[in-house]
Amino acid sequence: MKRFVSGFLLICAAIILAGCVQTVEIIDYKEVEEVGNFRNLGQLEAYVQKFNSERQSYRWFLSGDVAMENAIASTAQMSVPSAEDQTENKDHSETNNQVDGVGESDTVLTDGYYIYMISGDTVFIIDAETLVITDSYTSENSYFSGIYLYEDYLIVIGSESYEPEDKEAETEEYRTDIYYSYYYYYNYGVTVKIFDILDKNEIVLNRELFFDNSYLTDSRMIGSDLYLIMNDYSLSSRPDGEAILPRYKDSAEGEEYNRLDANDVYYMPSDLWQCSYLLLASLDVESEADLDLNAYVGSTYQIYMSQNNLYTVVHRSWFEEASPWMMSRTYVLRFAIADGKLVYQATAAVDGSPLDQFSMDEHEGYFRIATTGTKIETSTKDDVITATWSIFNQISCFDATTTGKIEPISVLENLGKPGESIYAVRFSGDIAYVVTFVRTDPLYKIDLSDPLNPVILGELYEEGVSDYLHIINDDLLLGVGRQAEINEYGSTVFTGVKVSLYDTSGDAPINIETYLVEGEYSYTPVLYDHKAFVSYQPDGQDYTYVAIPITEYQNNWNDYLQSIYVFKVTHDKQLEYVTALSHMDEPATHFFWYVDTVDRTILIENMIYTVSNSQIRMYDMEADFLEVNALLLNQE
């Protein structure tokens, strides 16, 4: 009897132990089409191990010192009125945001009374009337890339590097994702600093966050809620155990690092060539409420954000065994904004890929995306595979209220002539404007009022191409781009920067006027940075000022002159060149490129300010743009 009882107990113990052993379900990263939650740390480790063991590895080494020194020429303190004393609002220009109510970071901001700007590792507050620096803040080993202004808070975002405590021991661990400079290794990450600026004479650091091993992809701000979209490449160093989880610091929680829990990590459709984390963070800048942070094994290179949703773009490419050609697909992930947090909702797959954030839009519950891609048609004869390639452009519409894996409700195809790609897109309510280009510039006006049946209303063909489109009002559209012509060899060459005003009141756009800044190599950063474009309608006026930085090359590209071109767009459909403002007295060589380039322009009532890395100049627009003041920020 004792033997029977003993044997029975042993069998029961074996069954219990077997039940305690968890079988780790291996998720194949190549098959992931939606977003899901990892059950535990073991499942996450198995997923990453499979990813790293099968993918093609790339190692990137970055060289150069990430710190930038700034010599401040004037740091004079002065007694200034606080925000509570500013009872009247001064009319001023704003950051060129894509969506009303959704803020984008910039390097220079104003509230009408003060100018807030970043230069390298330094934040400045400058009295707009006197151009006197009231206070500044410098952070060593940091490089600031953007700022937000919310009531009495200034939010500064950038990157920060630091030397590991045990550099020799950590060299191998961090070799694939650290800065390499003069034989020293540094760790890096995204830094966020929230300042109280109620007293403009004294900047007070309220809260500081640091996301280790991360790069900032983009950010947005709605009200007091800040949203960060980051890529964390720590998985490239193949960590295991808890080290596989992303870590961060938040001064509101203490000075030590915190790591995410495994159940805060998700899998998602991802780039098959890079194992990394997509980090989505949100926080309220005017409180010390907990940071909301989630990690997704994947990455994004482009985003669009409405007041309701965040959309992240993932591009996946792969080789199929049955074909020698590389295949590709673009995924768009939708995260709803719920109580200031980003919550995953849906995944959509589209053919081709979007050009930039302006290729995406949300309107009345529908998401629209314009993409360019390549179609491959193959044929086999005598065991020889022949491929025919063609470029396609299209607009796809999705229901932005459904969840899970979703399909387009309509696709408008065949935009552009053969060989053309999309160069610019702008959505405006029920209307979309799309530019395709290879030799000439077709500008399409498209009706999207019926998402199930999008229709091309009209098109305009002209020389050159618009790379950026800006809505002036319901009847006027401004295009900034490049003039082009066909040379003797049959190739398209660009001959200067063009600024064009279009009448869009009818079905087909009409070119009212084009202003050309000649020069084969001349260009404007507006082509790739829409925040360099400034529009400002003075209160009560029927015209809009437009400021565009343009660089003109001379002497066979050896000398250059960089200026801010100011235009006036009257609402009775006229484009008027006003003036060009420069920090350069004459054309210069490339040696002074980074110092004298005017990056931003702001307008406050009748004053216009040009801002470069080295100085600010102030002009009176009512006195024929006479320079009335200047501030030197960098003596070198």
Tokens found for residue 16: 């219990």
Q: Which tokens hold the place of 20?
A: 């305690």
Phi, psi of 605 (to 5 degrees): 50, -115
pLDDT on residue 330: 92
CB of 405 within 8 A of CB of 33? Answer: yes
Contact present, 256 and 249 (Cβ < 8 Å): yes
pTM value > 0.75? yes
Beta strands in 300-383 (DSSP E): 302-305, 309-319, 326-338, 341-350, 360-363, 366-381
End-to-end CA distance of the chain: 95
**Residue with token string 């006036």:** 568
Lookup result for tokens 């403002």: 581
Would you tell me how many other CB atoms lie within 10 Å of the CB of residue 327? 11
Tell which residue, 616, 489, 483, 617, has the closest CA to residue 550. 483
Taking Cα atoms as reference points, which of 478, 482, 488 lies closest to residue 509? 478
Provide the greatest CA pair distance for the chain: 111
Residue 548 has a pLDDT of 97
| 26, 248 Cβ separation under 8 angstroms | no
H helices of 21-59, where? 41-54
Domain ranges of the chain: 28-78+103-299, 301-463
pLDDT of 441 reads 75
CA distances from 479 to 229, 431, 469, 493, 535 (A): 29, 16, 5, 19, 13
Taking the C-alpha atoms of residue 561 and residue 587, their distance in angstroms, rounded to an integer, is 5
Count CB neighbours of 118 within 10 A: 25
Integer Cα distance of 403 and 422 in angstroms: 29
For the chain, helix (H) and strand (E) counts, in that order, are 4, 43
CA 276/CA 299 separation, integer angstroms: 6
- The whole-number pLDDT of residue 165 equals 66
Contact at 8 Å (CB) between 95 and 109? yes
Output the pLDDT for position 325.
Answer: 67
What pLDDT shows up at residue 393?
96
Of 308, 300, 366, 299, whose CA–CA distance to 340 is shortest?
A: 308
Give the bridge partners for 183, in sequence order: none
CA distances from 154 to 70, 109, 124, 190, 200 (A): 20, 10, 11, 17, 11
Question: What's the DSSP call for residue 172?
Answer: T
In the chain (636 residues long), the average pLDDT of successive 10-residue segments reads 46 44 62 82 85 55 30 38 60 96 97 96 96 95 96 97 66 44 67 97 96 96 98 85 92 93 88 85 94 94 97 83 71 96 96 96 98 83 76 96 95 93 97 90 94 97 94 97 82 87 97 90 92 95 96 78 95 96 77 68 97 93 96 76
